[in-house]
Amino acid sequence: MVLDVDVRPVLTWGPTICACRSAAPRRSSCPTARAVFLDRDGTLIVDRPYQARPEAIEILPTVFEGLRLLADAGYLLIIVTNQSGIARGYFGTRALRRFHDHLGKIFADHGIRIAAFYYCPHHIAGRRPELARPCNCRKPAPGMLFRAARDWGIDLGRSWLIGDMPTDAEAALAGGCSPILVGPERARGDRRWTVVATFEEAARWITQDGGSDCAILRRVPE
């Protein structure tokens, strides 16, 4: 008797990493990997401020479709997220890891692997003294991108960042990769980055229009 067994590989997801801590040894002295860095709240999931409950996760429209396009095009998918809720005392690092594990599983169940989740816990208005300071990992600073590039051998000049706020785009430009924002109402008036209406449009822009030359920054017509 022949059993009909599903032999598809089980996808996993990468770790949650505090970008501000010491990096692992460099994987490659000649970075070649391409990545799409992903803002989390307001880009991949509904933005619920200072939320760390896994059951509150709600994936935004066209995100699954867009992530599949990017993965199929060979891009590493890496989330980079400011998480000042830790500094402010709303939740801790364990809660954040549980949240990211749940989010990673949601994507894995849809055939999408997130390579890693990088976060910055700092904020100058934090209630935890050790975290109440400026940090070069907090967007719009590019520290999370630099850390991920070191860990994964990423060529930032051939990589992108998809976000929903100008601070995401500023981090991309400071890090040497190309920004694209989802949601024109939040980003009009600056021609240094591309703006589209949906996540899937952002992915198509990268894989079909802009991915061949990340050095050319363009904006969709208003």
pLDDT digits (tens, 9 = 90+) for 31-86: 789 999 999 999 999 999 999 999 999 999 999 999 999 999 999 999 999 999 99
Check 41, 151, 164, 168 and give the catalytic one.
41
39 is catalytic: yes
6 is catalytic: no
Q: HSE-up of 147 (CA within 13 Å, CB side)? A: 27
Asked if 45 and 182 touch (Cβ cutoff 8 Å), the reply is: no
pLDDT at 168 over 60: yes
Q: Cα(99)–Cα(55) distance, rounded to whole angstroms?
A: 9
Structural domains in the chain, sorted by start = 35-49+58-210 (3.40.50.1000)
pLDDT digits (tens, 9 = 90+) for 92-102: 999 999 999 99
Check 39, 151, 164, 168 and give the catalytic one.
39
